[in-house]
Amino acid sequence: MSIVENVQAVQARIAAACVAVGRDPAAVTLVAISKKKPVADIEAAIAAGVQHFGENRVEEAQEKIPSVQADVTWHMVGHIQSRKARLIPPLFNVIHSLDSVKLAGKLASEAGETPLDVLVQVNISGEGTKSGLNAFGWQTDASVRTALWQDFRAILALPGLNVSGLMTMAPIVDEMEQTRPVFAGLAALRDALQADLEHPLPELSMGMTDDYPIAIQEGATLVRIGRAIFGER
């Protein structure tokens, strides 16, 4: 299948997942994750109508983003080392992978006049391999909840950041359905934080090639899709 056919198939599946739960497909933004793929593939996806792209490594983004002429929105979805924070604002429009208070401080101090749009990455599943503020068991474990709320308060207090929501990654599972508790957990966490901290968090970045229909059913507003558009890496 070509990139244009893949984009059409993904868009159709996004729409079907929305219709299944009575959501407006326009409320879900497709972010094509172009990591490890050449600029020519990005151009093909742009020609197919994709307007949002994501990368996960700063070095690769530095090489590719300036060579894309079209006015698209760039999303950073990978872990950012604090010492590379200064490279982020010139390249990216939205950061999904703000995963520590320390990084938040660095990014905030690198933001210019306009605040940086960021999402806070949280680790709902508790897997040691996943980045993000620890949110494993936040509904039952008071110490996890206290630490998490404290970190959010610190991040929200920083000028220079526009915190608009949460991001998470589901574990790799055999059946897509097994990811549902993680996505539902992110939506519930968002609701709780919003209510307690009185800060709107409308965006939920969740869902990748193997699980995005479930993420959409659970409220995803941004789906990050690589392989279903560009093929295996």
Ligand X SMILES: *Cc1c(COP(=O)(O)O)cnc(C)c1O
* CB-CB contact of 208 with 216 (8 Å): no
Residue nearest ligand X, CB atom distance: 226
Residues in contact with 157: Cβ distance below 8 Å, sequence separation at least 6, in sequence order: none
| Options 59-67, 83-91, 177-185, 221-229: segment touching ligand X (CB under 6 A) | 221-229
Minimum gap (Å) between residue 233 Cβ and ligand X:
7
Nearest to 28 by CA among 16, 41, 46: 16
Binding segment toward ligand X, per CB under 6 A, in 83-91, 109-117, 152-160, 202-210: 202-210
Please classify residue 215 by burial: count the beta carbons closer than 10 Å to its beta carbon, then call 0-12 exposed, 13-18 middle and 19+ buried.
buried
Residue at 207: amino acid letter: G
Decide if residue 227 touches ligand X (CB under 6 A). yes
Q: How many CB atoms lie within 10 A of CB 113?
A: 5
**Tokens 């983003």 found at:** 65
49 vs 231 by CB, closer to ligand X: 231
Quote the least distance from Cβ 95 to ligand X, whole Å: 11
- In this structure, what token pair is assigned to residue 82? 């604090």
Q: Which among 100-108, 134-142, 150-158, 223-231 is the span making contact with ligand X, rule CB under 6 A?
A: 223-231
Q: How many CB atoms lie within 10 A of CB 1?
A: 11
Minimum CB distance to ligand X, residue 40 (Å)? 18
Cβ neighbour number for residue 200 with a 10 Å cutoff = 11
Of 33 and 58, the one with the shorter C-beta distance to ligand X is: 33
Which residue shows structure tokens 């990050």?
224
13-52 binders of ligand X (CB under 6 A)? 33, 35
* Cβ-based nearer residue to ligand X, 56 or 123: 56
Beta bridge partner(s), residue 32: 53, 225
Q: Do 24 and 18 form a contact (C-beta atoms < 8 A)?
A: yes
Residues 55 and 116: their CA atoms lie apart, in Å, by: 17
Q: Which is nearer to ligand X, 15 or 147 (CB)?
A: 15
Q: Is 77 in the site for ligand X (CB under 6 A)?
A: yes
In the complex, what is the shortest distance from the CB of residue 14 to ligand X, in angstroms, rounded to a whole number?
A: 13
- Total of chain residues touching ligand X, rule CB under 6 A: 13
Is 166 a residue that touches ligand X (CB under 6 A)?
Answer: no
Q: Which amino acid is at 179?
A: T
- Measured from the CB atom, the residue of 19 and 172 that comes closer to ligand X is 172
Residue 78 sits in the site that holds ligand X (CB under 6 A)? yes
Minimum gap (Å) between residue 114 Cβ and ligand X:
24
Positions in the binding site for ligand X (CB under 6 A): 33, 35, 56, 77-78, 169, 208-210, 224-227
